[in-house]
Chain A
Amino acid sequence: MNLENPARPPCNIVVAGLGGQGVLTATDIIAEVALLAGFDVKKSAIKGMSQRGGSVACDVRFGSHILSPMVPAGEADFLLALEPAQIEPNRHFLRPGGLTIEPSVIDADKLPQKKMLNVALLGALSAHLPLAEPAWLEAIASAFAPKFFEANRQAFLLGRASQNKND
């Protein structure tokens, strides 16, 4: 993926799940890593009712110059789904050939903590993006309390390895 070229469309990611699953945090981390890598970044998060367990979907876009903060339907390169039931309602965002990354790619038994699924899925996503591993770990370190870093790092690497296997 060559995103330095201004003529190239941005990288579009939709993160979907339910309120309380860490959708906003996952989106924050992607945006932070892209920013660290020198890209223009926009993200759009709808808050409000999201805390009450309803559907939440956030958009992140990065590239040389981003205009709309919202990923247009049919243009998402990736759909990162923290909850399997949220794939269908968001599938229309994916472009033809776009990739869905869902919880089943992660071996749940190997997750240090169940709630770190969002970070593990970021690991899986990271294997497909032109963003370096140290930047991901730096962003993860700043997103959570230090005592959780090691477990989150393991979750991230677990997800990252899940994709390398398949390539």
Chain B
Amino acid sequence: MDDGTSLLLSGDEAMALAGWHAGVALGAGYPGTPSTEILENFARLGGRAQWSPNEKVALEVAIGAAFGGARALAAMKHVGLNVASDPLFTVAYTGVAGALVIVSADDPGMHSSQNEQDNRRYAVAAAVPMLEPSDSQEAYDFMRAAIEISERWKIPVLLRATTRVCHSYSVVRPRAGRDTPRTTHFVRDLKSRVMVPGNARPAHRALRQKLAEMSAWNEDCSLNRVVPGGKALGIITSGISFMHAREAAPEASVLKLGFTHPLPLRKIAQFAAGVQSCVVIEEGDPYLADAIRAAGIPTGAKPEMFRFGELDVARVRRILRADTSPEPVPPPGKPPQLCDACSYRVVFESLRRQNCIVAGDIGCYTLGALKPFEAMDSCVCMGASIGIGLGLRHVLPPDQACRVVSVIGDSTFVHSGISGLVEMAYNPPPGGHVVIILDNSTTAMTGHQEHPATGRNLSHEPAARLVLEDLARSCGIRRVQVIEPRSGSDAFDHALAEALKSRQLAVLIARRPCVLIARQLKEYEQRESEPPRQCHEPGEPCPAAV
């Protein structure tokens, strides 16, 4: 039932298009590779999309929309779901009135991430259904299916993609037409929505009942399919691994799983029984292999060495040959660097010169850990720099403690650094502490997205601006300074030395827009000074999106 058009789309673009076609009323998230383009494209198509301060807030906003009966979407990278895991685990209990799809974009091989956690584990841990697309067509189809499953069982659905699905382009034939957005209406339902123990106990049982029903339904679900082949070898696979496996072993029979939690174990057993030898091909953790073996279905699995990094055709061939000899190491490429004109260079030169112990954070500026600066001593997760810096200050001997500095970017600070600053004021180390907020007025690392402190929304239109220096003062930090770091000037170096010497709690905001967005910033400012233009009547749909 397609409309005949073929589009070459990335997985992210396909998910956005599916959300738009399905009448998703609201999409919320926080930028993170490889998920960022989902909401950017959803907005471009005409959808209501927003960057929230972090993934937890984004998911909560999406839950509210789904409680109101709308179709809602939350999109984030794998580590973002850690931040949003608190609402995730309990919205599984409450269920939703409309539809709620949570996209987790995992990054096996860590192209742009601090770990390669396998978020399929979240589907099991939170007891929510999970779909795994393997190309852009499935990214489109599975988004549509996820919305329908969510609506049918009134449960949040995890749509789990990976870098090579999100950022690879393949041909998509969309369904014809666009669903009418659902009529929203609040229906009071305290027993379902208020998770006090008396309500949560039956809610947990109801959740397990839903899973049991979905498990039975999944046995005949068209999202799982068999690609018939020879009987000698059977491959059980999901996601991008399906593509590699088909190419590596075109002669094999393949059970391609699309709905991967709860698993269709009868279908899997039947497939395994019909082939002479069976093997699971999956990236990351042995999630499928463990579950299938635990169900008493004999199957082979990849050797441990293939838990690490991405799979590709060559690695799948190795798995099928049981070849565990050392893999060739590709020659190193050129590592990324802070841009030549990046104002953060000035900051890292200062940190190095003053022999600081630097608790760092997540963003472009993590490159300050590399040569020539090597001026960062830790990087764990979003917002961690402040807490880790404080912990070091509390326990280190005074000659080291006095050199500890936390370094965090503007977007990261808004994401999860604010509570660290509250902690700093509330539990101050005896020798004080210095937090440097690197404020380049954008979320540079992920491709220059807006955040609350830029004063513009996802679509780069004016919005309320969070003023970082005011916020720091209101947390109780008295020594707050805004400095423009410029090469050739020692103003920042001086301010850092003074702050360290003061033994007070200090926040230094190194503020200068990212050199890569200078032109865009001018455009935004010019647009803001012009009277608004309208290309169509207010209330009418955007002609570009129809």
Contacts and interface: CB of A to CB of B under 8 A. Distances in A.
Interface string A28-72: 000110010000111111111111111101000000001111101
Interface stretch (A84-92, A103-111, A124-132, A156-164): A84-92
Given A18-B334, A41-B8, A53-B334, 18 more contacts: A31-B169, A40-B171, A41-B170, A44-B167, A46-B167, A48-B445, A51-B516, A52-B364, A54-B337, A68-B244, A68-B247, A69-B135, A69-B164, A69-B243, A72-B247, A72-B312, A72-B314, A85-B334
A48 B111 contact: yes
Interface of A: 18-19, 31-32, 35, 40-55, 57, 66-70, 72-75, 85-86, 88-89, 91-92
A48 B8 CA distance: 21
Interface in B333-350: 333-339
B367 interface: yes
Contacts, number: 113
A53 B341 CA distance: 12
B331 interface: yes
Interface in B1-42: 6, 8, 33-34
A35 B171 CA distance: 9
Contacts of B314: 72-74
Contacts of B538: none
A53 B336 CA distance: 5
The 7 closest A-B pairs by CB, nearest first: A55-B333, A48-B112, A54-B336, A52-B336, A69-B168, A72-B313, A49-B336
Nearest to B340: A53
Contact of B333 (A43, A48, A73, A89): A89
Interface in B317-358: 328, 330-339
Contacts of B339: 52-53
A45 B313 CA distance: 17
Nearest to A44: B168
Contacts of B367: 52
A68 B334 contact: no
A37 to B, nearest CB: 13
A89 B8 contact: no
Interface of B: 6, 8, 33-34, 111-112, 135, 163-164, 167-171, 240, 243-244, 246-247, 312-314, 328, 330-339, 364, 367, 445-447, 516
B252 to A, nearest CB: 13
| SS class, residues of chain A in contact with chain B | mixed
A149 to B, nearest CB: 21
Contact of B331 (A54, A70, A92): A92
Contacts of A31: 8, 169
Given A44-B164, A48-B33, A68-B243, A88 B331 contact: yes
A92 B170 contact: no
A111 B146 CA distance: 50
Contact of A52 (B246, B312, B337): B337
18 contacts: A31-B169, A32-B8, A35-B6, A41-B169, A43-B169, A44-B168, A44-B169, A46-B163, A48-B445, A49-B112, A54-B335, A55-B334, A55-B335, A67-B244, A67-B246, A69-B135, A69-B243, A72-B314
Contacts of A42: 135, 168-170
Contact of A70 (B312, B338, B516): B312
A55 B330 CA distance: 13
A55 B335 CA distance: 7
A129 B335 CA distance: 32
Contacts of B33: 47-48
Contacts of A89: 330-333
Given A88-B331, A89-B331, A47 B336 contact: no
A52 B340 CA distance: 9
A67 B336 contact: no
A52 B338 CA distance: 6
Contact of A43 (B168, B334, B446): B168
A42 B246 CA distance: 15
Contacts of A74: 314
A35 B170 CA distance: 10
A125 B336 CA distance: 27
A54 B333 contact: yes
B188 to A, nearest CB: 45
A12 to B, nearest CB: 11
Contacts of A85: 334
A59 B395 CA distance: 50
A28 to B, nearest CB: 8
A86 B332 CA distance: 10
Contacts of A43: 168-169
Contacts of B336: 19, 49-54
Contacts of A72: 247, 312-314
B334 A70 contact: no
B143 to A, nearest CB: 19
Contacts of A86: 333-334
Nearest to A69: B168
Contact of A68 (B34, B313, B333, B364): B313
A55 B240 CA distance: 24
Contacts of B167: 44-47
Given A32-B8, A42-B170, A70 B135 contact: no
Contacts of A54: 333-337
